[in-house]
């Protein structure tokens, strides 16, 4: 498993690694359902009234793997005068060179309708294919909850194909339903999120099919009591439910698809008998400045990330 994570992290900048399957093939029983209100999904909702002009705004992340510390993986955030995120630049810096330079590999841009706080779309461009732009379009309800996103790509035959994902918020669960036109639903997950009252995701049940066979992977999560900087951004609910290929996230769907929709920071995630741990260093305002990912069987950090505000 460790080698799988290493391979994926080297190939995809902060993309998701291979999932370790749970042997449980049945969906766990649902927790007690309470009436659905936007207040039940605070971490998923971004509105003009609720958006906090945070004292700290995430400006840059620099990460490296301990077995290759000279290669730095960088993400830079830029904002407008109203603190709306405009762009993410993703790339690398090889610090072993005499004159290290930032090598841009991907640009992610957000577009807005007028003065709206919520982005209408997200566009991703890989530097190696500058004319190939992948654009996700969003729809929200009156409470600032995203209810749909959609994207048009090309299928294996080179023909236009559409992917739409709808979100249903019920009780303390969030359900995602992908709808595909022009290509197969194989290996595309239907996710169910169990939520904690404190504003975090307790469990992710990811169901997918491959060649007609159903697969269920279950992840469980624990958190600390400190501030998740992504959840303070206006794009908090625009980074989740995205394909890992756009280059966001680290290892599991929580950090790839649901990066901004937990109030606190992840301490552990596990699937089956496999558990990954995270340690942080915080500043006086309870924002993380350093994060270490520790994998089973090795007390040394596998990946180290620094946050700058």
Number of domains in the chain: 1
CA nearest neighbour of 96 among 74, 71, 73, 75: 71
Please, what is the average pLDDT of the chain?
A: 80
CA distance 218 to 289: 30
89-114 pLDDT, tens digit each: 999 999 999 999 999 999 999 999 99
56-99 pLDDT, tens digit each: 899 999 999 999 999 999 999 999 999 999 999 999 999 999 99
pTM, two decimal places:
0.79
| HSE value, Cβ hemisphere, 13 Å, CA-based, for 72 | 19
CATH number at residue 57: 2.40.160.190
Domain around 101: 2-308
Strand partners, 138: 149
Q: Which of 36-50, 70-84, 110-124 has the lowest mean pLDDT?
A: 36-50
Specify the pLDDT at position 273: 92
Dihedral angle over CA of 13, 131, 156, 185, nearest 10: 60
223-235 pLDDT, tens digit each: 999 999 988 889 8
Using left for φ > 0, alpha for ψ between -120 and 50, and beta otherwise, residue 139 falls in beta
């Amino acid at each position: 498993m460790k080698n799988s994570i290493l391979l994926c992290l080297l190939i995809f900048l902060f993309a998701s690694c291979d999932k370790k399957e749970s042997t449980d093939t049945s969906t766990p029983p649902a927790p007690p359902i309470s009436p659905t209100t936007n207040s039940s999904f605070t971490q998923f909702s971004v509105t003009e009234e609720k958006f906090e002009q945070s004292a700290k705004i995430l400006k840059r992340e620099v990460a490296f793997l301990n077995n290759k510390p000279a290669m730095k993986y960088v993400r830079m955030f830029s904002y407008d005068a109203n603190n709306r995120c405009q762009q993410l630049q993703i790339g690398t810096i090889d610090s072993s060179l005499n004159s290290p330079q930032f090598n841009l590999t991907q640009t992610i841009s957000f577009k807005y309708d007028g003065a709206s706080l919520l982005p209408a779309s997200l566009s991703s461009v890989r530097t190696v294919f500058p004319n190939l732009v992948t654009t996700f379009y969003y729809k929200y309800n009156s409470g600032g909850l995203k209810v749909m996103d959609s994207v048009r790509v090309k299928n294996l035959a080179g023909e236009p194909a559409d992917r739409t994902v709808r979100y249903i918020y019920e009780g303390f669960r969030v359900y995602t339903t992908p709808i595909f036109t022009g290509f197969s639903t194989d290996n595309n997950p239907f996710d169910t999120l169990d939520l904690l009252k404190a504003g975090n995701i307790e469990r992710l049940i990811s169901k997918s099919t491959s060649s007609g066979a159903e697969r269920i992977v279950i992840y469980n999560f624990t958190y600390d009591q400190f501030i998740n900087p992504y959840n303070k951004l206006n794009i908090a609910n625009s980074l989740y439910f995205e394909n890992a290929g756009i280059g966001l996230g680290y290892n599991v769907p929580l950090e790839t698809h649901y990066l901004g929709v937990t109030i606190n920071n992840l301490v552990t995630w596990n699937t089956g008998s496999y558990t990954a741990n995270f340690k942080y260093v915080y500043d006086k305002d309870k924002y993380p400045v350093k994060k270490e990912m520790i994998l089973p069987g090795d007390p040394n950090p596998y990946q180290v990330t620094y946050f700058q505000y």
